[in-house]
Amino acid sequence: MEPIYTIITNGPYKFRIKDNTSIYDGRIIGRTIKIVGNSSDCVDISITYKDNHPISACIPYISYDSECSIDTPLDRGRGSVLMVRTLCQYVYRQLPTIREILFEDKSNIECATEDEIRKSSKSRKKGTHVKPIPLYFFSIAFNGETWYEKYFRARQLDNQKHIRYKTKIQELLRSIEFKTSISFLQFLEIIHPPPFIIDELQQYYMISSTFGAFFQSIPKNDRCRLVGDWISNFMLHFLKGVFHNTDWVIDLPLSTEGGKSKSRKYYCPKGKIRHTRTFRDFGIYPIDI
């Protein structure tokens, strides 16, 4: 069956959607709906069928290029959100029985200063680069939620696990009792930071009543340097059993406000955000919105 192409305008952007249904022996065996750029695919939703009926959907990958929008290059934030929303909304209009889209959050950020990013770009030929940090852990620390929770109200597939995760985040970031129960020495034993940043960490640790206040007390220009090396150790220790970056879903239809709350502005450090293109990976474009 020949693919169907549709142009959809969302805000200042125009997206080209390619809708391709695979048929064998008169039966639908799969359907792929994607936003395509001039040189590459940008975001892809794959639909699984059984007995000619759609039964599930997942996002195999997402990639960003200035050509993902036909007319206007994608910006660092809003364009990325609108691109994903455009495709999700198209899928729901075409297939209203599909009520959730599965994905794995494997987004990473090459969190670095502008100077470090420039040096990294020059050194790639030598096989070295800025160490990527899991964006979901970094975002939880500084926003109390992941990027996908913020803009798409994403949740873990296991609802009970997700409720425990949200409860744990409240305790981890806001409880004075929880923070004061962990001495600075115990904190160091959990995170295993590079020795040369310990004195700086202690400075912010000792003036903060909660872990949320601790993260916020670190100046934005220093957060990548002071947090990047150990944030995974910290989150894996405290979120064990209640959080994993696999088996997440975006519920359809999307809310009209896009999951945005009235909380403070979403924080994300400057740096290149990337992901590995493997099955059901989901990465995002750099944002600071």
Q: Give the domain ranges of the chain.
A: 1-98, 107-272
pLDDT at 263: 56
Q: How far apart are the first and last CA of the chain?
A: 41
pLDDT at 17: 96
Nearest CA to 83 out of 135, 40, 44, 30 is that of 44
Does residue 246 register a pLDDT over 60?
A: yes
Pair type for strands 133-134 and 155-156? unpaired
Does residue 151 register a pLDDT over 70?
A: yes
- Place 116 in a pLDDT band, splitting at 50, 70 and 90: low
Tell me which range, 5-14, 61-70, 203-212, 264-273, is most confidently predicted by mean pLDDT.
203-212
pLDDT at 78: 73
Does residue 276 register a pLDDT over 80?
A: no
pLDDT at 132: 80
Q: In the Cβ-directed half-sphere of 168, how many Cα atoms lie within 13 Å?
A: 17
pLDDT at 289: 35
pLDDT at 280: 40
Mean pLDDT, residues 112-133 taken together: 56
pLDDT at 117: 53
Tell me which range, 72-81, 136-145, 260-269, is most confidently predicted by mean pLDDT.
136-145
pLDDT at 139: 94
Mean pLDDT, residues 223-251 taken together: 96
pLDDT at 190: 98
